[in-house]
Amino acid sequence: MIDIIMGYECNVQCDYCTITRDMRSHNLDASAIAAALEKGALEGLKEAAFGGGEPTIRKELPRLVKLARTLGYTTVKISSNGLMYAYPEYVDRLLAAGANLFHLALMGWNRAMYARIMGREEYFDLVRKGVSNLVSRKALVVGDLIMKNDTYRELPETVEHWAELGVERFVFWLMSLTDRVRDSRESLVPVSIMRPYLFEAFEVGRRRGIPVLSRHIPRCMLPGYWDHLWDVQGERILVVTPESTFWLSESRITANTHVEKCRECVVKGECMGIRRDYLDHVGDHEVSPIS
């Protein structure tokens, strides 16, 4: 996959967002994005992703989606806060251009959570409308949920709510302590504390027959639920940002770090590891080698 961070400009400021005020002025122009798509195609990559910031506020997004499909990308993913999908004509433009995978950052399952995290409670209604517009057009919708101090207890209810509206799979992400929120240490909760709520949410997915996956958490921290782990180790993802281009496996924001205890684990050659900022904040006491 080529994952293009089109820029850091956004139409909201979520409380967990790592993007600083200065970073918001850093954006790729359309020609640079087109060149990146061409490079990815030459690398043999078959999936393209557009993210940010907020990609749907870029007027050229439908044109770039169409270019990606023309270059041979079979999957074109858009990662968004979902607000623009409340406009059905905009959804139709993206679908007509060839977008076929829609990842939505879901803040919770009620208006109060959206007000607290995203800034305005009416955003909850707009995203619900956006999901309805996507689902009614048979688009594949994936919910991305950030696990942090004021959301992890609500994971089961959040999955129930959005699954009922037609979201077909969910991915849980650990809060990241970088850039704008690097000092928000209270937001990053140890997995051992979140685990009961994670497991309950996994069971919601099992009951409904839909994938509910956790990213960035190694299998030793998810006993009994390895089938809900999204292991990024084997992924070939080229990330393009306004500042640099790099393979995700080498990034400081992905799970790619092992500790001394990992040497004793029978799956050490298969495990992706842990995120570095998580180890810096929580430590390695939760790591339990599998025998």
CA–CA separation, 182 and 190 (whole Å):
16
Helix residue ranges, H only, 181-269: 191-208
Quote the pLDDT of residue 250. 79
CA-wise closest residue to 117 among 29, 15, 258:
15
Written as six digits, the tokens of 275 are 């995120």
Amino acid 87: pLDDT: 98
- Among 270, 77, 273, CA closest to 169: 77
CB-count burial class (<10 Å; 0-12, 13-18, 19+) for 261: middle
Distances (CA, A) of 5 to 17, 24, 51, 113, 282: 14, 12, 5, 26, 28
pLDDT tens, position by position, 162-218: 999 999 999 999 999 999 999 999 999 999 999 999 999 999 999 999 999 999 899
- What gap in Å lies between CA 227 and CA 246, rounded to an integer? 29
Which of 58-67, 206-215, 221-230, 249-258 has the lowest average pLDDT? 249-258
Q: Mapping DSSP to helix (H, G, I), strand (E, B) and coil, where does residue 12 land?
A: coil
- Mean pLDDT of the region 43-66: 97
**Would you say residue 234 has pLDDT above 90?**
no
Segment 59-82 mean pLDDT: 98
What is d(CA 43, CA 72) in angstroms, rounded to the nearest whole number?
12
CATH class of 2-251: alpha beta
Averaged pLDDT for residues 117-142:
98
- Split at pLDDT 50, 70, 90, the class of 231 is confident
Domain boundaries, the chain: 2-251
Per-residue pLDDT tens over the stretch 13-51: 999 999 999 999 999 999 999 999 999 999 999 999 999
Q: Phi, psi (5° rounding) for residue 97? A: -75, -25
- pLDDT computed for residue 71 by the predictor: 98
Query: HEC string of 106-162?
Result: CCCCCHHHHHHHHCCCHHHHHHHHHHHHHHHCCCCEEEEEEECCCCHHHHHHHHHHH
Q: What pLDDT was estimated at residue 150?
A: 97
Given this model, what pLDDT does residue 254 score?
83
Nearest C-alpha neighbor of 121 from the set 106, 132, 110, 131? 110
| pLDDT given at position 257 | 92
pLDDT at residue 251, rounded to an integer = 79
pLDDT digits (tens, 9 = 90+) for 235-273: 889 999 999 999 888 777 788 899 999 999 999 888 889
Each residue's pLDDT tens digit, 90-108: 999 999 999 999 999 999 9
